[in-house]
Amino acid sequence: MNKAELVDAIAKKTGETKRKTEGFVDAFVETVMDTVAKGEKVSVVGFGNFERKHREARKGRNPRTGDVIQIDAKNYPAFTPGKGFKDKVS
């Protein structure tokens, strides 16, 4: 399902216009990204948690040459599904 299909499905369920629904979806996504980028956690009960995680610097290996390379530390977004989501998928 892509964004347009998601907007269509939500609009059908809520009875709102597609334009208004797309605004809500955009606002949700932007708010989650901004909040996670600040290092805060977003929890939607029954759905899951969005958070920023940190990966330490480490040594890796170039698979082509076998040379050891340094991989920089970085932050990355993570999603952990909630119990309701897991139960629905199972």
Task: Look up residue 48 and give its two tokens.
Answer: 């899951």
- Confidence label for 85 from pLDDT (cuts 50, 70 and 90): very high
Q: What is the pLDDT of residues 4-43, one digit of tens each?
A: 999 999 999 999 999 999 999 999 999 999 999 999 999 9
Three-state secondary-structure class, residue 70: strand
In this prediction, what percent of the chain has a pLDDT beyond 70?
Answer: 100
pTM: 0.81
Which pLDDT belongs to residue 55?
96
Q: Which domains does the chain have, with CATH numbers?
A: 3-89 (4.10.520.10)
Q: Roughly what angle, to the nearest 10 degrees, separates helices 3-14 and 18-37?
A: 120
Three-state secondary-structure class, residue 1: coil
